Structure 1
């Protein structure tokens, strides 16, 4: 199974349409089985889209998908190339006062998607609101659950906000899931130096494997290399984007993409490609 995760920064990017095209061409070439995208946006003011049966609505509440939805544009362009993906999308909050901002999942196999609130606040107008998109799908004959995650920063462990609170809510949800788990996305907590959030995650869920740590083959490591939104004073390489997997998986490859080397930079984050198999 080949997997991609990317915080795509979507319509906030300069030359966004060109970068969307580069993402589509990479997906066509690599033929990923599962794709997790974050910062998947649509303008608040645009019209509702007409969707086909490849769109998989959330079980509980589905936000209206607009015609300029970034994930919709990706799957539409892929379809013109003869590549079809089932897909789903949620909304966490309003971004930059212009966008509905959320996450997306794309899969070669049908998805049973839903999302769950992890932040203390739930107001869409508050950028602290965070919802995790999850999808139940299959690999061969095995059912698995995939999360597309975009968490807040570490704000200490005494406050009912930030990554500490959000991760605790995620743990509660995970305890109810018996299927193999694959958590992908932007965790906003670096693994290096003083990574309190990363350390807390590993301490509270030590059975989850960090794909970078256990991959047999590795190309690249870090996913942010400059100052970006939320990390405006950053001057070093950071690993903020992750795959965390349950023990049923084996990781053959970890590869950083969209870093300006083999593939062009298309976002303020680099992406990660994983090659996984079930043990």
Structure 2
């Protein structure tokens, strides 16, 4: 099983269409089973897609309208394999986009959920955060894949700890099955006593830590939005499991070495 997670920084990149094509080529080469993407944007003013164009889309939220420039949809049109997918909006991004979360799966989605993990529900405030989860059958077993994009540990209005407590409660009904939780957590693995340690104290298995083969794991290596003063390499994008799983490998990808740079984050690819 191959899993990819990437914060796409959708429609905020220079040469964006070419970068989507580069990402599509990378996915076509590696044929990931599940792909989790954050900052998946679509223009608020864009026209909606037709039902025919959404035949492999699973409606997690019945009122979510998928627009013609939805980043995940544009990417999907360039993939050689059929992917089943879902997307939910979380908040307004860059004042003109519906910013949301997408999951792509090579096997059909059988169930899905979307949940708030912020106490805030203001669609116009970027601190409003959600998770999206899909269930699919892999290797004969029903498995959950959950995608999230979180706030910072010390955010004054919506600190990470409260969002993680909500995450734990929202995931409780699904924990009797294998579950993988991934995304952009905005909490640095090397910083003690903050978000990463708090997550690990809850019993999650970091697939990077347990992988047989791995690299330095850093997915942000410059100053970016949310890390404006950053001058070091950060490991803030993770793939966790709720059960003890040892990955064959955990690799930073889409970093100019293992695939082209397509976002302000690098991706994480895990093979189990």
- Partner of 1:109 in structure 2? 107
Point out where structure 1 has 5 or more consecutive residues left out of the alignment.
none
| Alpha-carbon distance between aligned partners in 1 of 2:150 and 2:54, rounded to the nearest angstrom | 30
SS of match in other structure, 1:72 = helix
Deviation at 1:53, TM superposition (A): 2.1
Native 8 Å contact 2:7 2:267 kept in 1: yes
Deviates more, 1:48-57 or 1:99-108: 48-57
Deviates more, 1:175-184 or 1:22-31: 175-184
SS of match in other structure, 2:98 = strand
Point out where structure 2 has 5 or more consecutive residues left out of the alignment.
none
Alignment of 1:129-148 (within 5 A): 129-148=128-147
Please report the TM-score for the alignment, with normalisation by the length of structure 1.
0.93
Native 8 Å contact 1:3 1:32 kept in 2: yes
Please report the TM-score for the alignment, with normalisation by the length of structure 2.
0.95
Alignment of 1:150-161 (within 5 A): 150-155=149-154, 161=158
- Partner of 2:78 in structure 1? 77
Native 8 Å contact 2:210 2:245 kept in 1: no
SS of match in other structure, 1:106 = strand
CA RMSD of aligned residues (A): 1.4
- Partner of 2:47 in structure 1? 47
Alignment of 1:193-212 (within 5 A): 193-194=191-192, 196-203=194-201, 205-206=202-203, 208-212=204-208
| Alpha-carbon distance between aligned partners in 1 of 2:72 and 2:167, rounded to the nearest angstrom | 24
Residue among 84, 90, 96 paired with 1:86:
84
Deviates more, 1:160-169 or 1:228-237: 160-169
Native 8 Å contact 2:148 2:181 kept in 1: yes
Alignment of 1:36 onto 2:36: yes
After TM superposition, where is structure 1 displaced by more than 4 Å over at least 4 residues in a row?
none
Native 8 Å contact 1:184 1:241 kept in 2: yes
Native 8 Å contact 2:207 2:245 kept in 1: no
Number of equivalences: 268
| Alpha-carbon distance between aligned partners in 1 of 2:91 and 2:46, rounded to the nearest angstrom | 16
**Residues 244-268 of structure 1: CA distance to partner in whole angstroms, max 9, x if unpaired?**
1122533111011011113111110
